[in-house]
Chains A and B, each alone.
Chain A
């Protein structure tokens, strides 16, 4: 398989997002609300490849994420597998190259990831669950969506669909 220049550019953006997760994110204040650049990279990838690749990428990223929270090992893998698969599948349902639509997509994906993860991990109940899903997760999802929008603005030329 021949790697094209547009694919290299997309790969560079994804690598930048992964680096930003570990270098920039710790400087962005409260970790509960800081954007999840890894999730943005996963969504950008999943919407540019077949659902199978998005699924596998989601599973692997989830497994690595679980490694830093071993008491709920597997919960992030379940969440990101589902998000990776659905993102790849939803791509077939054409949505416009619109910044707002894309940001909304990332917001929903981030919130869904948190919801699946917290429900599968089964570590929060009652008011704590509501607090997490209705307050903390939406705020974190909003910051992640904002990070995705900024990335799209900065690298719009490199991230066009034709580039994939």
Chain B
């Protein structure tokens, strides 16, 4: 960029600037009902080829990373099988096979996150799956660790998700294994990075740091039992009324590359078992694989950490147990 000639802004330049600025402000002031059709039209036309290119680039990057990971895992497994009992290696392979997608079984689509430049990335995410892949509006978006957000708008081959970091995001939540309910929302910028906060917790309830907070299933958007975060401590308290807790989220939007979009039809399900509950529901079952073979057992009742409350019986959907040796089928 070398120095320019002696061109200063003329009246025409200033007029063009003012017109574009006014148009931008008009776009900003449009109601949501008008913004999204315009944005959707741009995504389906101008942005369609570039998003397709970006999807390919992300997919090839992910493929390289997966290859390196598979090589690493293969090398690690070879090393482990050399020194550890055969059963442990077998368990590791089974755990790798029975990933989250396998545990969910049905009613989901997988997608890549197409990260964009600018400050909006991390608040809203462009996903590489759309209505053609079965994605619907308000579908929950989860990563392997827990909740990432929910689908805001859907196009044929892409969709835009509202991440939990967005100021508009709310999720009905409960402390796992208890009857303590609240609302989770984002709390950005404090401490070192993005945090969540659990608001509306009754004053009589005291949560211990480390307690896991999961979706409650109320509101019929998120299925019950998907992890949101862990309690770090009390943030504020309105004496005699309610407490607000700071949560360490289990998933960060900017660091997520692959997601699972659940079908809204699964909103009534309980997915506690799919996300490795630390306090299994009373009627849940566990798959145990040991020297005696594969069998299904009921876990012992959990120890109550909050003796004044008892967990309501969860409407647990027993996980689909694949036959021994079966490989989970990923649906796209």
B118 near A114: Cβ-Cβ < 8 Å: yes
- A-B pair number, CB within 8 angstroms: 228
Of the four ranges (under 10, 10 to 19, 20 to 34, 35 or more), the interface on chain B belongs to 35 or more
B115 near A31: Cβ-Cβ < 8 Å: yes
For the complex, what is the distance from the CA of A161 to the CA of B7, rounded to whole Å?
13
Given contact pairs A70-B40, A74-B27, a sample of 19 additional A-B residue pairs in the complex whose CB atoms are under 8 Å apart:
A22-B51, A23-B54, A50-B13, A51-B7, A51-B17, A62-B24, A64-B46, A67-B40, A71-B168, A73-B28, A73-B35, A73-B36, A74-B35, A117-B118, A117-B119, A117-B120, A121-B119, A123-B120, A129-B189
CB of A59 closer than 8 Å to a CB of B: yes
Question: Looking across the interface, which residue of chain A has its beta carbon closest to that of B15?
Answer: A52
**Chain A residues closer than 8 Å to B305, beta-carbon distance:** none
**Chain A residues closer than 8 Å to B10, beta-carbon distance:** 50-52
B1 near A85: Cβ-Cβ < 8 Å: no
Kindly provide the distance from the CB of B81 to the nearest chain A CB, expressed in whole angstroms. 33
- Say whether, besides A74-B29, A117-B118, A131-B189, A27 and B57 are in contact (CB < 8 Å): yes
- Say whether, besides A55-B17, A131-B188, A69 and B118 are in contact (CB < 8 Å): yes
Q: Which residues of B contact A (CB under 8 A)?
A: 1-4, 6-10, 12-14, 16-17, 20-21, 23-30, 32, 35-36, 38-40, 42-43, 46-47, 50-51, 53-54, 57-58, 61, 114-124, 126, 152-153, 160, 162, 166-168, 188-190, 254-255
For the complex, what is the distance from the CA of A113 to the CA of B29, rounded to whole Å?
19
B4 near A91: Cβ-Cβ < 8 Å: yes
**Chain A residues closer than 8 Å to B51, beta-carbon distance:** 22
A77 near B118: Cβ-Cβ < 8 Å: no
**Chain A residues closer than 8 Å to B6, beta-carbon distance:** 92
The proximity string for A residues 121-132 relative to B, scoring 1 for CB distances below 8 Å and 0 otherwise, is 101101111111
CB of A78 closer than 8 Å to a CB of B: yes
**Chain B residues closer than 8 Å to A136, beta-carbon distance:** 119
9 residue pairs of the A-B complex, CB under 8 angstroms, read A34-B115, A48-B1, A52-B10, A62-B24, A74-B27, A88-B13, A92-B6, A105-B1, A121-B120
B115 near A89: Cβ-Cβ < 8 Å: no
B188 near A128: Cβ-Cβ < 8 Å: yes
A27 near B54: Cβ-Cβ < 8 Å: no
For the complex, what is the distance from the CA of A27 to the CA of B17, rounded to whole Å?
35
Kindly provide the distance from the CB of B207 to the nearest chain A CB, expressed in whole angstroms. 23
**Chain A residues closer than 8 Å to B21, beta-carbon distance:** 78, 81-82
B27 near A32: Cβ-Cβ < 8 Å: no
For the complex, what is the distance from the CA of A92 to the CA of B4, rounded to whole Å?
6
Question: Looking across the interface, which residue of chain A has its beta carbon closest to that of B121?
Answer: A31
> Which A residues between 61 and 96 are near B, CB-CB below 8 angstroms?
62-78, 81-82, 85, 88-89, 91-92, 94-96
Other-chain residue from B39, B53, B120 in contact with A23 (beta carbon distance below 8 A): B53
CB of A152 closer than 8 Å to a CB of B: yes
**Chain A residues closer than 8 Å to B255, beta-carbon distance:** 30
Other-chain residue from A92, A137, A140 in contact with B8 (beta carbon distance below 8 A): A92
Kindly provide the distance from the CB of A101 to the nearest chain B CB, expressed in whole angstroms. 9
Kindly provide the distance from the CB of B153 to the nearest chain A CB, expressed in whole angstroms. 6
For the complex, what is the distance from the CA of A34 to the CA of B9, rounded to whole Å?
32
B28 near A34: Cβ-Cβ < 8 Å: no
Question: Looking across the interface, which residue of chain A has its beta carbon closest to that of B53?
Answer: A22
**Chain B residues closer than 8 Å to A9, beta-carbon distance:** none
**Chain B residues closer than 8 Å to A88, beta-carbon distance:** 9, 13
The 3 closest A-B pairs by CB, nearest first: A128-B189, A74-B28, A161-B2
> Which A residues between 8 and 30 are near B, CB-CB below 8 angstroms?
18-19, 21-27, 30
**Chain B residues closer than 8 Å to A34, beta-carbon distance:** 115, 117
**Chain A residues closer than 8 Å to B39, beta-carbon distance:** 66-68, 70, 73
CB of A142 closer than 8 Å to a CB of B: no
**Chain A residues closer than 8 Å to B27, beta-carbon distance:** 63, 66, 73-74, 77
